[in-house]
Every structure is written in structure tokens, then in C-alpha cells.
Amino acid sequence: MIKRTIFTSLLLVTFFICKAQVDSTLQSIVYKFDIKQEIGSTSWIHTQNAFEEANKLKADVILLHLNTYGGQVVFADSIRTKILNSNIPVHVFIDNNAASAGALISIACDSIFMRPGANIGAATVVNQSGEKMPDKYQSYMRSTIRATAEAHGKDTIVNGSDTTYIWRRDPKIAEAMVDESIYLEGIIDTGKILTFTTLEAIEFGFCEGEADNMDEVLNKLGYTDYEIVTHKPTVYSNIKGFLTNPVFHGILILVIIGGLYFELQSPGIGFPLLASCIAAILYFAPLYIDGLAENWEILLFIAGLALIALEIFVVPGFGITGIAGITLVFAGLMLSLLENVVFDFTNVPGDEMVKALIIVSSGTFLAFAAAIPMTEKLFTTGALSKVALQGSQKISEGYLSFDPSLANLIGEKGIAETQLRPSGKISIDDELYDAIALIGIIEKGETVDVVKFEAGQLYVTKA
């Protein structure tokens, strides 16, 4: 009995020693990635790659290091959706600024920590000039930021027999970061857009705490033994982010359409066509690599160009061929931006279709709007004026494609050196000339009279 007790005790001691050793080697994996630039296509690509890598590593937590003045709403919405749907907890450390689109992304995170002196808010939608966009854009942003705050749910507070439910992040406060008409007593007056400092954000539930660095954030989250894995963007992802930017896409479409237009205005120059081809490659290549642009969509674009060329150079006028060509080019450019499966658009969000339509339409419109006046300027007084033919060779200025002295041969006699059926050669005073028989066929050796000279051509009859 005593031996059994001693043996059991030794087993238990050994078990706990081994367990302690194993536990000591189990570190939490913290996956960190940065957004420290304008929110755009590059930020979205980095976010996608970061979440994919974090999932492969089976990270315990994702920590976003954020410092941005905002950016494009469409990409901020994609990032906040990615955060809300993440199976791994996502926390954000605001290092100075989380303005506009940055505020939307921050509110999507499970918790927010801010550096002393940092700011969050001012999420009104503005254009490139900083001017406030129309209310339909503000309405979308109000709804989005409100829904993001609501996604974190409510806290339950029990006080005796009373139960109170309080929003973890008040949707009305989030909405006040967009809409200046909202009044919240003790927080914001009407006519002002809400922006919180660090202490204000903590007071009103939009920040879980103040921190000076990432390690302090992790300590406040309860992580003591951890390994930080930092996302390192690749050169390819940066290039891809630039090439897939909607603004750049619009510019590429402008160059594609504009280059074709310029080339058609002065065929054979080559530079506009080369620019158009390069722009088409830059447009389709990243989309093809990304799996958006399929082979058949690129072939649609090429077929459209072929039909347009056929309409211009072969088929007279402008009809079905030209309209079909323009339609195919437009469809090829637009479909390459969507994640459709052939003509199945079930899983394509409506806003993505609208965005693709706007990009292609605006690029095409600007191409024609700019190309028409630029054509005249470039090919008349501009850099290409010496490449293209500018004037016509007028007869009044002495430009002729034939020898006018041949008219002096009218009334002369000659000999048919070849059979004229009706054209052939004649000799006059031992000189050979091209001639056309005005009536019937003239056999070789017969005498002829030159009766007419017209458009550089001698006309003869049998003598």
C-alpha cells in the first residue's frame, strides 16, 4: 500500500513538472500589421495578406498599428468588414491619428488603445479637394459607421432587480463623427463633427485604454508571454496596390482609348498605339494574376478592338460592327474588375458593379473629352505636328502628279507599239507614251491620232 502511494505521488509530480515545462514553451502568437498611410487599394491588399498569414500561423491575436488621416471609403469599408468577420480577435493601437476612414476601421476592432495625445473621429466623406460630398455619400457613411458600432453589441448591467443594456460603443456617438447635425448632451453640439482625444474616447467608451507602445497594449490585454510576428509587405503587393487603384485604372482606360483615337487620326505614327498597348497590359495583368480577369474577358476586349478597326478601315459608315466593337471593349474592361463566374453575378456585391461601371465610364468619357481637343493641338501646332502631314499639295500651287506638257501632243499621229485593249503604248517621234483607245480595240502597228488629254492620260483613235 505504501509503495503504491509513493509510486502514485511520483507520477503526479512528474506529470506536473512536464506540464509546467510544456506550458512554459507555449507562447501566444501576436500578429502585427501596420496601416500608416492613406487608406486605399494598397492598404486593402496588405490587410488581406496579413489576415491570410495570421490564419496560417494560427495567431492568437491580431494587432493593428494605425496612424492615418483617412482615405477611400470603399477600401475602408472592405477592411472594416474583414475585421468584423475575423475569427481571430483584432485590436488596434492608434498611434496619433485615426481620422475619417481610419475611425471606421478602428471602431470595427474588438478593442481600441490610443497613444496620449491621439485623436479619433472626423469621418465626414470629402472629395480630393477636402470639400464635403453630397448627402447621399454622408448617408452611406453614417449608416456604415453606425452599423459598425452596433456590431459590438451591448453590455448587460444588473442592479438588483433592474437589468440595463448599454451599447459597448454608442452608435449615436459614432454617427456624430460623420453628421454635424447630431446633438449629444455633454459631448457635441450641432454644427460640429465629433473628434475624440484619447481621454475623451476612454470616457465615452470608444477606447479601452491609453498606451505608449505595442507591448503596453498587449500587457493591458492580458498577454504576458508572447511572440510578435510582423507583417512585411512585398514589393509585388505594393506594385499591385498601385496598379489596382481605381484612379489609376481610370487613367489606364483613358490612355487605352485615347491612344487608339490618336493612332486612328494619324495611322502609322506608332507612339499612341504603343502607349495604348502598354496601358492595356498594365490594366489586365494584375487583374489576371489576381483571378479577376478571365481569358474570355480579355478576348472580349481584343475582339471589340478588331471590330472597331474593321468598321473604320473596311466597312463604310458607322453601324452594327462599330457599335458591337464599342460594346465588347466596354464589357471586357468592366467585367475584368468583377469577381463574376462567366455571366453569373450572384456573388458580386452591387456596390462593386457600380464602382466598376463608374471607373470604366469615367475613363472612357475623359478619354474622348480630352482626345478631341488634344488631337487638333498636337497634330497642328504641338509636338507631333512635324510627324503628321499637315497641308495638301494644291494644283494652284503647282503640285501635279503628271506632266502637263503631254497636252501638246493632241492632234499628233503615232504608231501603236502594243495592242490597245483599251490601254497600251504608242510611239510618237520615237518616244513611247501610255495611251488609251477611246473607241474599240487598236491592233499593234496601226496608225493612231491623239484626240484628248485628261487627268494625265492620252486618248487615241484609229487614224
The pTM (predicted TM-score) of the whole model is 0.64
For residue 73 the three cell numbers come to 471609403
Report in angstroms the alpha-carbon separations of 318 from 263, 304, 314, 350. 18, 14, 11, 34
User: Measured in Å, how far apart are the chain's first and last C-alpha atoms?
Assistant: 149
Topology, domain 395-462: OB fold (Dihydrolipoamide Acetyltransferase, E2P) (2.40.50)
Between CA 294 and CA 61 the distance in angstroms is 36
pLDDT 10s digits, 198-222: 999 999 999 999 999 999 999 999 9
Which residues 6+ apart lie within 8 Å of 175 measured at CB?
142, 145, 146, 182
Task: List, for residues 433-461, the tens digit of each pLDDT value.
Answer: 888 998 888 999 999 999 988 877 889 99
Higher local confidence (pLDDT), 231 or 166: 231
Question: What band does 19 get if pLDDT is binned at 50, 70 and 90?
Answer: very low
**Which option is the CATH number for 23-234: 3.40.1360.10, 3.40.50.280, 3.90.226.10, 3.20.20.140?**
3.90.226.10
Can you give the pLDDT at residue 7? Answer: 46
Which carries the bigger pLDDT value, residue 355 or residue 143?
A: 143
Please state the domain extents for the chain. Answer: 23-234, 244-380, 395-462
Burial 223-260 (b: 16+ CB within 10 A, else e): beebeeeebebeeeeeebbebbbbebbbbbbbbbbbbb
Determine the 3-state secondary structure of 287 from DSSP: helix
Tell me which DSSP letter residue 397 carries.
Answer: G
The average pLDDT across 253-278 equals 74
| Lowest-confidence segment of 22-31, 113-122, 140-149 by average pLDDT | 22-31
Mean pLDDT (the chain) is 82
Identify the pLDDT of residue 22: 41
